[in-house]
Structure 1
Amino acid sequence: MRPGGPPPDTRRMDHHAALHAGFRWHVPEHFNIAEVCAARWARERPGSVAIRYEHEDGRAARFTYADLQANANRLSNALRRLGVQRGDRVAIVMPQRFETAVANIAVAQLGAVAMPLSMLFGPDALEYRLQHSEAVVAIVDESAIANLRDARPQCAALRHVIAAGEAAGKGDLDWAAALEAERAEFTAVKTKADEAAVLIYTSGTTGPPKGALIPHRALIGNLTGFVCSQNWFPQDDAVFWSPADWAWTGGLMDALLPTLYFGGQIVAFQGRFGAERALELMARHGVTHTFLFPTALKAMMKAVPAPRERYPLRLRAIMSAGEAVGDAVFAWCRDALGVTVNEMFGQTEINYIVGNCGRFVDEQGREHPGWPARPGSMGRAYPGHRIAVIDDEGRECPRGTPGDVAVHRLDVHGHPDPVFFLGYWKNDEATRAKFTGDPANSWCRTGDTAVMDEDGYLWYQGRSDDVFKAAGYRIGPSEVENCLVKHPAVANAAVVPKPDKERGAVVKAYVVLAPGFAPGETLVEELQRHVRGKLAPYEYPKEIEFIAALPMTTTGKVQRKVLRLQEEERARTAAGAH
């Protein structure tokens, strides 16, 4: 027995090791996302439902794989008529809707590069990305047409705007008219697996966004993580839904494309996220598999403590990523939703690399064992990925020592891992800085700090630039935030250092209150006692500030950098006043 705990579950531990030992990547020379996600299913079972569309105003429709492919063929022909060439960037600025899926398939089979952009971007954000990428066409609906039109005069390369949905009449060409004029047959370009398929600009909190160029083969690299995190997807009656915007890796590569790759059904919901609305939607469509950000799970946990008493849910798997889930949310998912949440870790450049996998018994009674999720842990390496925690010099850290989570170019068998991005668009220096060692035999740093335990589980400490020292102690904000969220008064929290003359910094928490609670000194003291009683004495927040909403990226990550800079500016102002 190990000190302080039960013996390891060797059967499950061996299963994880066996998966890695027996796994081999198969990456063909030629590979195209459109072929594997739409064309083959349109040939083999054209009447199968691909997308269940629902608008928040009640409109709904279902589209088959035949519908998806026929519309994609028409759009590919229209784009080619507009002069789009192999390798050209085509911006897609739309929410979850059928046209968004069509656009991604059409651009891929044309051999062009899809550039998904969030409908939440303002004119400046759109202008930067359209300019920097030199996009030649933009496809946009009513959600972003006004902002795109404001940005367009500064985007010299942007030759055409295709207006979809209620944006009709506000672009150079209307979606419906453009597709109606084209044939429903198209001969796809024969792309190589290494060719660029997608350009996604990362949602960093410092400096200008960087465009990560993703090859077609990266979808293959995502599949082991998707299958495992969804408890052995696919299953015959599987229905997938996630509120993650299809403009981001979390929506495109973790939801839409892998679901279509397996010929599954995905729900496209066009509307704002709401905790009760999400549960209603999942019940109505019989959703079996989902990806929910921790912020979404926290909102659901606070709004509907006992969801199965109100909603006939069919959930079998929940994957979560973007922030640490924490054991409070983990316990709620297990007890209230009846599903053990599988944390996943990855990023735009190298996605779906670490996580957990639950057990599944198929209709024939065959067991597909995974490996047990541990509350608070990011999980272990998915099959096909070689993961380590490394120090500043690129050396692997001893188990239990914090370091930078990194992925090796080669898997455990010495073969290239297909999950890697091609590089940052027009930024070779940033691409080189991402890797440590020989380019062909190197570690790629994620910029996230974690500890790896003796069993290979990773325990998240925070972004490398989020971890800080207070009075000489190293503070990982996620642990304190997780503790705060366990209190019924706290809906969400962010922890940052507040500059302090004597101690260098003190722990400060920004807290969003749950409905029914009011700020005040009494509550501050109660929250401080709550943390002090559960964590180390040096970790409790010396100061708490109540805030209506935390600054968030459009991918649902807390922007601690914004709050940290605010604290630094306040400190400078206070020093100047003296």
Structure 2
Amino acid sequence: MHRFEPSAHIDTFARDHLPPQDQWPVMRWDTLPELQAYPKRMNCARELLDKQAAIHGNRPVIYYNDEVWTYSRLLETANRIAHVLVEDLGIKPGNRVLLRSPNNPMYVACWFAVMKVGAIAVATMPLYRWRELTFMTEKAEIEVAICDWRLRDEMETTLKESKNLKRAVYFYKDGVDSLEALMASKPAEFETLDTAWDDVCLIAFTSGTTGPAKGCMHFHRDVMAICDTFNRYVLRPTKDDIFTGSPPLAFTFGLGALVTFPMHVGASTVLVEQYNPQKMLETIQEKKVTILFTAPTAYRAMTDMAKDYDISSLKKGVSAGETLPLPVWQGWYDATGVKLIDGLGGTEILHIFITSEGDGIRPGATGKPIPGYEAAIFDRDGNPVPPGIVGRLAIRGPVGCRYLDNPERQKAYVQNGWNFTGDAYLCDEDGYYWYQARADDMIISAGYNISGPEVEAVLMLHPLVQECAVIGAPDPERGQIVKAYVALRDKTKAGPETARALQDFVKAEIAPYKYPRAVDFIDALPRTETGKVQRFVLRQRN
């Protein structure tokens, strides 16, 4: 039974909505000396920003376009924003604050400001539409948002539609009501709140296989634990490393890769708002990047282009978001001499928990559990299976799944103290884990997790659609694509024009990366005698 440290939160929403402790996974803090040394009073902003700025104040922390932000500048900016949160926006410890921005230094400063005041960050993808944002504001009972002015359209609609959201403040905006204007007169110092190590500091929403997104609740100590496991023992960066990568900071993968990991050692990061493979290679060449985080799709695309750029500074590349095919690993290694670190992680467990690096890489295998974690393979009845047998992957370590007010999904994800990731794996005789397939209906396309039922729900809003089913179809470039099988009310309208109309409709309603890249029209969906859609029949068509 977990014994909570006295909370610094005045607003008790987070602890009130944690799952019952008998539904928590086992979380071990005695496996590594760094984890054992954590104090019970901990704020991750103090560890990652305040302390590092005291040591590395004049060193760069963020490169962004032509700007160079030092640790001192980031600290002072976060402190001024913290004053705005408390004095102008009335934020109290434990309140949730929605953050919405592409990858830029103001986003990072806002995130740390939320940490410093003891509030809870709810980061959202720039591509999310008002429908998704409204769900999150209501699920997490959010009243205040801080948003990049360029993303105001969906934010303004969310303000109108949400029952909870009362105010949005914008940065990168002119005018007396901008965040910059509010910050201007604030002090550059702010005393970081003395939070408990088990105070919730972020709620990360992840796409699920059924229904809407699920909120994953993580503590201040969890943020530090990913730094003291994967970062310390696998990546092993130094203060002279320069990071970059494509994952959005709203993803916990991106938060670790581009913010907490470099700052944990006093290193720097290059933030780019819109990356493509060419831009990534140009950035590595120009900024002398040493550590890169992106998805297999991008590594595949960059392999043939790499010879045209000087990327000799690159020492390490991390691949995550989807399984790394052996031909992609081999192609990148042949082109660059860099052995990609393949990582399996998840929002529920905050970051990577299985990987391999250096001479321990076995191409084609995901790898072994990182220090601090253990893994096992179970059959459908919950029995462990021997090496070489495919089963359900389960993980446990210092960080684990705690869904926001979602008992049904909590019971499915956490069983007998283990986190079940939804992946089918086998473990070989040497302890290496080999990916086989998704064990559920999640579609993983170019590193994005996409819920088929969520896309179905949007398609059903279109007046032409009678019924539909969405699956993941194999694709050589993206791993999978979203494919929709649609039965129309008027069968005579089936054709390319209607397919494009449905695709555009989905793009306008939810994040565009979720739209069905293939649409097949059928007379009726295959169903069981009890009326359930037989998705396996649709998968067999591909």
TM-score normalized by structure 1?
A: 0.71
* Structure 2 counterpart of 1:428, from 407, 411, 430: 407
CA distance in 1, matches of 2:187, 2:484: 62
Which residue type is aligned with residue 368 of structure 2?
R
Secondary structure at 1:139 match in 2: strand
Which residue type is aligned with residue 158 of structure 1?
L
Matches within 5 A, 1:226-265: 226-230=231-235, 232-233=236-237, 235-265=238-268
* Structure 2 counterpart of 1:48, from 54, 59, 64: 59
Secondary structure at 1:184 match in 2: coil
* Structure 2 counterpart of 1:105, from 103, 108, 112: 112
Query: What's 2:354 paired with?
Result: 354
Contact 1:217 1:418 in 2 (8 A): no
Which residue type is aligned with residue 35 of structure 2?
W
Contact 1:120 1:144 in 2 (8 A): no
Structure 1 residue 357: deviation in Å?
Answer: 2.0
CA distance in 1, matches of 2:31, 2:327: 34
Contact 1:287 1:313 in 2 (8 A): no
Contact 1:31 1:193 in 2 (8 A): yes
Matches within 5 A, 1:136-147: 136-147=143-154
Matches within 5 A, 1:266-415: 266-270=269-273, 272-301=274-303, 305-350=304-349, 351-358=351-358, 371-408=359-396
Contact 1:137 1:158 in 2 (8 A): yes
Distance 1:375-1:571 versus aligned 2 partners, 3 A rule: farther
Structure with more relative contact order (C-alpha pairs < 8 Å, separation 6 or more): 2
Contact 1:107 1:113 in 2 (8 A): yes
Which residue type is aligned with residue 425 of structure 1?
L
Which residue type is aligned with residue 285 of structure 1?
K
CA distance in 2, matches of 1:397, 1:36: 41
Query: What's 2:20 paired with?
Result: none
Contact 2:209 2:440 in 1 (8 A): no
Contact 2:118 2:195 in 1 (8 A): yes
CA distance in 1, matches of 2:299, 2:361: 17
Contact 1:323 1:557 in 2 (8 A): no
1:91 and 2:132 equivalent?
A: no
1:190 and 2:194 equivalent?
A: yes
Structure 1 residue 313: deviation in Å?
Answer: 3.3
CA distance in 2, matches of 1:299, 1:557: 21
Distance 1:85-1:311 versus aligned 2 partners, 3 A rule: same
Which residue type is aligned with residue 43 of structure 1?
A
Contact 1:228 1:357 in 2 (8 A): no
Report percent identity of matched pairs.
27
Contact 2:100 2:126 in 1 (8 A): yes
Secondary structure at 1:424 match in 2: coil
CA distance in 2, matches of 1:138, 1:316: 38
Query: What's 1:39 paired with?
Result: 50
Deviations 1:151-177 (A, max 9, x none): 1112233232111114x45xx931111
Distance 1:466-1:459 versus aligned 2 partners, 3 A rule: farther
Contact 1:404 1:448 in 2 (8 A): yes
Matches within 5 A, 1:489-568: 491-494=477-480
1:64 and 2:64 equivalent?
A: no
Query: What's 2:522 paired with?
Result: 570
CA distance in 1, matches of 2:155, 2:442: 37
Which residue type is aligned with residue 38 of structure 1?
L
CA distance in 2, matches of 1:21, 1:162: 43
CA distance in 2, matches of 1:467, 1:195: 30
Distance 1:188-1:427 versus aligned 2 partners, 3 A rule: same
CA distance in 1, matches of 2:248, 2:347: 14
TM-score normalized by structure 2?
A: 0.76
CA distance in 1, matches of 2:128, 2:322: 22
Structure 1: runs of 5+ lacking an equivalent: 1-19, 55-59, 359-370, 409-416, 469-479, 486-490, 500-547
Contact 1:95 1:246 in 2 (8 A): yes
Structure 2: runs of 5+ lacking an equivalent: 1-29, 444-472, 486-502, 528-542
Structure 1 residue 22: deviation in Å?
Answer: 7.2
Contact 2:49 2:75 in 1 (8 A): yes
Contact 1:289 1:318 in 2 (8 A): yes
Query: What's 1:365 paired with?
Result: none
Secondary structure at 1:43 match in 2: helix
Deviations 1:247-266 (A, max 9, x none): 11111123311211221101
Query: What's 1:465 paired with?
Result: 440
Query: What's 1:471 paired with?
Result: none
Deviations 1:118-161 (A, max 9, x none): 11111211111122211121111133111100111122332321
Secondary structure at 2:310 match in 1: coil
Deviations 1:502-558 (A, max 9, x none): xxxxxxxxxxxxxxxxxxxxxxxxxxxxxxxxxxxxxxxxxxxxxx99x99xxx999
Query: What's 1:418 paired with?
Result: 398
Which residue type is aligned with residue 130 of structure 2?
P
Structure 1 residue 197: deviation in Å?
Answer: 0.8
Structure 1 residue 315: deviation in Å?
Answer: 0.6
Structure 1 residue 457: deviation in Å?
Answer: 0.8
Runs of 4+ in 1 over 4 A off after TM superposition: 20-24, 495-499, 556-560
Which residue type is aligned with residue 67 of structure 1?
R
Distance 1:283-1:563 versus aligned 2 partners, 3 A rule: closer
Distance 1:318-1:70 versus aligned 2 partners, 3 A rule: same
Matches within 5 A, 1:209-220: 209-220=213-224
* Structure 2 counterpart of 1:452, from 399, 421, 427: 427
Q: What value does the CA root-mean-square deviation take over the aligned residues?
A: 3.0
Distance 1:113-1:236 versus aligned 2 partners, 3 A rule: closer
CA distance in 2, matches of 1:326, 1:213: 31
**Matched residues, number:** 444
Structure 1 residue 71: deviation in Å?
Answer: 0.8
CA distance in 2, matches of 1:152, 1:495: 32
Deviations 1:342-368 (A, max 9, x none): 10001001121100122xxxxxxxxxx
Structure 1 residue 396: deviation in Å?
Answer: 1.6
Distance 1:83-1:313 versus aligned 2 partners, 3 A rule: same
Structure 1 residue 24: deviation in Å?
Answer: 6.3
Query: What's 2:535 paired with?
Result: none
CA distance in 1, matches of 2:209, 2:31: 38
Secondary structure at 1:345 match in 2: strand
Contact 2:483 2:517 in 1 (8 A): no
